[in-house]
Structure 1
Amino acid sequence: MINLPKTQFNTSSESPASVPADWLIVGVWADQPYSGPAGDVLEKLRERGDFGAKPLELVPVLNPIGIAAKRLLFVGLGTRAQAKRAALHDAAAAAARHVTAKKVGTVAFAVPGPEFTLAVGVGLAQGVQGPGIRKSAPTRFAPESLLLVGGNGADMPRVRAESRALWLSRELVNLPPRELYPETFATVAADAGRATGFDVEVWDESRLAAERMGSLLGVAQGSSRPARLAILRYAGAPGKPVLGLVGKGVTFDSGGLSLKPTDGMVDMKCDMAGAAAVLAGVQAIAELKLPVNVVGVLALVENMLSGTAMKLGDVLTARNGKTIEVLNTDAEGRLILADALCFASEQTKFLVDFATLTGACMVALGTETSGLMTNNDGWGDQILAAVSRAGERAWKLPMDSSYDGLIKSKVADMRNTGGGRWAGAIAGGKFLEQFVADAKWVHLDIAGPSFAEGDSATFDAGGTGCMVRAIVEMARGFEGTALV
């Protein structure tokens, strides 16, 4: 079911001009002199105004003279002062998308400095993977080899681990829902654990009932596909604090009885992107053998409508005993996360959840930035810094007590909607806050950046692998004891 690129990653200390490859990609700074391959060609392009090295600007040279590569691609990097991980990652991704529209063997990238090895390597990995593997005529061809010329060899294990994790996350999001459902998702998780060295425990519906996960089971009861909870455990620092990662895994969201229209339902195979990010992130952490302890919790359901589906006005009881009035069955993600967060808060006091939770967050922040909500500013700032280091984007939203009334119910402890048009993303966060006990907790609403509806310079349409890189950074920076 899982079909990932077989591309190999390597470094080379040769001069870029002498590297044999189908394509040689060269990054050019907009404000720096250039002394790389085909410098005379680049000078003419600049003189004619055909290339200014603006970010993501691409100019191919199909018959380069004086270099071993068959073709050359200049990619703009923008100004050197703006050279953060995100800029180099995106430049590499855009270049890779350009050169892999046809079958190629080796793609080489002249890394502009060894400190950019990680950004370039994972960016290339992003650009070589497309969602069209089920087409009779593929539109994206992952190369046999990606060669980082001048790259830092010490960074390559991380390049490989993050690239494979990114591929896994995107593949899961892109899989058709008839192939990926709670049981098969749990199987993929178990396979990943065996392959890379973390433990996976899967709870079936009878165990979920015994564990008092009534909110999660309420969402699942309309589907013929039974719910699952997958618990991932990686122990890289025995005796030290544990980082808890929780992922929303609605493998298909019809909206339930609050049925989505076709336009709103067509991409709802992506409603498990949070769970995909957690699984892929834990896989990378385990592959890198990072000295950290992690527990990942994947809440896996289908939200379907049938004669057994939960109804508006139903009241569900979550694991912690709190009752929830269901006023919209399409606000289901928070219902499954309620039980998952309850369980995770029993394992650790440091939690981050990832969820394609609300369209309201996209209205507020657009499609490239996640919303971050927290009950602890210090923990929230630490997670926000990790997201930024990874070259991803999030923005902190308020969570003060003035928003508590958004989820007030007349018949239960809370309701599962905000009750109106305003502060919908925050209402989702305030709901989840009821289930983390005394844990320090961050909620990342990734509804916007987790799925690309169309092609862009850096992405093929489909899953993006949002927050996989950030999870690795969270794990690398996690010490726990500093926040106790």
Structure 2
Amino acid sequence: MLNIPSTQFNTSIEAPATVPADWLALGVWADEPDTGPVAGLVSELRERGDFSAKHLELVPIFNPAGVAAQRLLLVGLGQRAGANRAALHAAAAAAARHVTGKKVGTVAFSVPAPEFTLAVGVGFAQGCQGPGVRKTSPTRFAPGHVLLLGGNAADLPRVRAEARALWLARELVNAPPCDLYPETFAVVAADAGRATGFDVEVWDESRLAAERMGSLLAVARGSARPARLALLRYTGDPGGPVLGLVGKGVTFDSGGLSLKPTDGMVDMKCDMAGAAAVLAGTQAVAELKLPVNVLGVLALVENMPGGKAMMLGDVLKARNGKTIEVLNTDAEGRLILADALSFAAEHTDRLVDFATLTGACMVALGTETAGLMTNDGEWGETVLGAVTRAGERAWKLPLDASYDGLIKSKVADMRNTGGGRWGGAIAGGKFLEQFVGQAKWVHLDIAGPAFAESESAALDAGGTGCMVRSIVEMARTFSGERSG
């Protein structure tokens, strides 16, 4: 079902001009003279106005003189002062998208400085995998080998682990819902656990009922596909504290009886991007053997309008005993997360959930930035710092008590919608807050950055692999903070 690239990544200290690759990609700063093997050519192109090295600008040169590679790609890196992981990741991804339209064996990328090895390597991985998972004739061909010239060899294990995790998350999000549904998602999770060294336990409907997960089961009632809960346990620090990661896994969201229109439903195979990120991030953590304990909870359902579907006016009881009035069956993600968070909070006091939860968050922050809400300022800053270092984007939204009225119900402990046009993303966060107990918790609403509706210079349309890199950074930070 999944087509994961087999590209091999290595570093090399060879001079770029001597590497016999199919492509040689050279990064060029916009505000610095080039000193590489084709410095004269770069200067000439600049003088003619054909290349300014602005960020994401690409100029291919075929049969270049003075280098052993068959083709040369000049990659604009933008201003040196603005260089960070996000910028270099995007530049490498844009380069990869350009050179992988045909089959190639080896691509060499001259890393502009050793500290950018991770950004360039994982960015290139981002760009060499396309969304055409079911086309009879592929439009993207991942190279067999990527050489990171001048890269830091110590970063290679993380490049490889994050690349594989990114590919897994994107394949899951891009997979059609006829192939990826709760049962098959759980199988993928179990396979990943066996391959990389973490335990996976899968709960079926009877176990979910025994565990009092009435809110999650209610969402799944309308579908012929039964719900599943997958528990991922990685133990890299026996006896130590546990980082809890919870992912929304609605493998297809029709809206239920609050049926979405076609335009709003067509991309709803992506509504499991949070669960994909948690699975892929846990896989990377396990592959790297980080000294940290992780509990991943994947809440997996389909939301369909069948004869047994959850109805407006229903009152559900969640695992923690709280009752929920259903006023919109298309606000289902928070319902499955309620039970998943309740379980996770029983086993750790540090939680982060990842969910394509609200269109309102996209209205507020656009399509490239996740909304971050938290019940603990210090923990929120820790998670935000990890996201930023990973080269991803999040912005804090308020979650104070003045918003409590958004989810007030006349007949139950709470309702599952905000009841109006205002503060929809925050209403979702306030709802989830009721199920985290005493844990320090962060909610990341990734509705915008998890799925690209159209392609851009650095991104293909479809799943982006959002938050996989951030989860690795969170795990590293969690371990480092504790040991420090």
* TM-score, normalised with respect to structure 1: 0.99
How big is the shift at 1:481?
7.4
Aligned counterparts of 1:481 and 1:67: Cα–Cα separation in 2: 46
Q: Residue in 1 aligned with 2:259? A: 259
Aligned counterparts of 1:480 and 1:312: Cα–Cα separation in 2: 46
SS of alignment partner, residue 478 of structure 1: helix
Kindly report which structure 2 residues correspond to 1:107-122, keeping only aligned pairs within 5 A, or say none. Answer: 107-122=107-122
Per-residue CA deviation, residues 329-356 of structure 1 (Å, 9 max, x unaligned), is 0000000000000000001000000000
Residue 261 of structure 2 is aligned to residue 246 of structure 1: no
Q: Residue in 2 aligned with 1:444? A: 444
SS of alignment partner, residue 346 of structure 2: helix
Retained in 2: the 8 A contact 1:173–1:462?
Answer: yes
Q: Residue in 2 aligned with 1:138? A: 138
314-323 or 27-36: bigger deviation? 27-36
Aligned counterparts of 2:77 and 2:480: Cα–Cα separation in 1: 37
Aligned counterparts of 1:403 and 1:248: Cα–Cα separation in 2: 23
Retained in 1: the 8 A contact 2:133–2:175?
Answer: no
Q: Residue in 1 aligned with 2:473? A: 473
Aligned counterparts of 2:308 and 2:197: Cα–Cα separation in 1: 39
Aligned counterparts of 1:380 and 1:44: Cα–Cα separation in 2: 49
Retained in 2: the 8 A contact 1:30–1:80?
Answer: yes
How big is the shift at 1:12?
1.1
Aligned counterparts of 1:51 and 1:378: Cα–Cα separation in 2: 45
Amino acid at match of 2:183: E
Q: Residue in 2 aligned with 1:158? A: 158
List alignment gaps of at least 5 residues for structure 1.
none
Q: Residue in 2 aligned with 1:354? A: 354
Residue 381 of structure 2 is aligned to residue 381 of structure 1: yes
Aligned counterparts of 2:133 and 2:472: Cα–Cα separation in 1: 27
Aligned counterparts of 2:180 and 2:423: Cα–Cα separation in 1: 32
Q: Residue in 2 aligned with 1:396? A: 396
Kindly report which structure 2 residues correspond to 1:40-189, keeping only aligned pairs within 5 A, or say none. Answer: 40-189=40-189
Retained in 1: the 8 A contact 2:319–2:342?
Answer: yes
Aligned counterparts of 1:8 and 1:448: Cα–Cα separation in 2: 31
Retained in 2: the 8 A contact 1:241–1:480?
Answer: no
Amino acid at match of 1:226: P
Retained in 2: the 8 A contact 1:241–1:479?
Answer: no
List alignment gaps of at least 5 residues for structure 2.
none
How big is the shift at 1:33?
1.8
Aligned counterparts of 2:352 and 2:135: Cα–Cα separation in 1: 37
- Residues 239/366 of structure 1: CA separation in 2 closer, same or farther (3 Å cut): same
SS of alignment partner, residue 139 of structure 2: coil
Aligned counterparts of 1:395 and 1:128: Cα–Cα separation in 2: 29
* TM-score, normalised with respect to structure 2: 0.99
Per-residue CA deviation, residues 303-348 of structure 1 (Å, 9 max, x unaligned), is 0011100000000000000000000000000000000000000010
Amino acid at match of 1:379: W
Retained in 1: the 8 A contact 2:323–2:412?
Answer: yes
Retained in 2: the 8 A contact 1:376–1:440?
Answer: yes
Aligned counterparts of 1:134 and 1:415: Cα–Cα separation in 2: 40
Amino acid at match of 1:473: E
SS of alignment partner, residue 272 of structure 1: helix
28-37 or 258-267: bigger deviation? 28-37
Residue 31 of structure 2 is aligned to residue 31 of structure 1: yes
How big is the shift at 1:465?
0.2
Aligned counterparts of 1:239 and 1:136: Cα–Cα separation in 2: 50
* Percent identical residues: 80
SS of alignment partner, residue 243 of structure 1: strand
How big is the shift at 1:136?
1.8
How big is the shift at 1:479?
4.2
Aligned counterparts of 1:347 and 1:400: Cα–Cα separation in 2: 25
Q: Residue in 2 aligned with 1:464? A: 464
Aligned counterparts of 2:419 and 2:181: Cα–Cα separation in 1: 31
How big is the shift at 1:32?
1.3
Amino acid at match of 2:320: N
Amino acid at match of 2:111: V
- Residues 419/319 of structure 1: CA separation in 2 closer, same or farther (3 Å cut): same
Aligned counterparts of 2:247 and 2:346: Cα–Cα separation in 1: 16
TM superposition outliers: structure 1 runs of 4+ over 2 Å: 479-483
Residue 208 of structure 2 is aligned to residue 216 of structure 1: no
SS of alignment partner, residue 247 of structure 1: strand
How big is the shift at 1:370?
0.1
Question: What is the aligned length?
Answer: 483
